[in-house]
Amino acid sequence: MVDLSQYLPILIFLAIALGLSVAFVFLPMGVSRLTGTYKPDAEKLSEYECGFPAFEDARSQFDVRFYLVAILFLIFDLEVAFLFPWAVSLDLTGWVGWLAMVFFLFILTVGFVYEWKKGALEWE
């Protein structure tokens, strides 16, 4: 016979997590309906995208600069994400880790200068 009592804490944890999730999602909506803060109007229900009101067909193509800026943000955000663990573990990696990170930063700097020279960071 299998003893399932060892799974009881996990079941309790999942029930509490589910209850809190439901409370955090539906409780604010219910409170706003009861207190009268839910007052939709044409401005609140209008479409909003990219910081300006939609004036063309929804299927129109975006300018490639939106995607370029997003990709550049991801690249340099990942750079910072790699710098933190490196800085924390620098005492363990020593000079080899330091030189590897300097090489990594050099490659990213060359890429950044290339993008700058090509005008990828210019917004008209």
pLDDT in tens, 12-60: 999 999 999 999 999 988 888 888 766 777 776 666 655 555 566 667 7
Instruction: Give the C-alpha separation, 15 to 38, whole Å.
Output: 30
Q: Yes or no: say if 121 and 72 are a contact pair by the CB < 8 Å rule.
A: yes
Whole-model pTM? 0.45
Instruction: Give the C-alpha separation, 40 to 61, whole Å.
Output: 30
Q: Quickly list H helices, 60-89.
A: 64-88
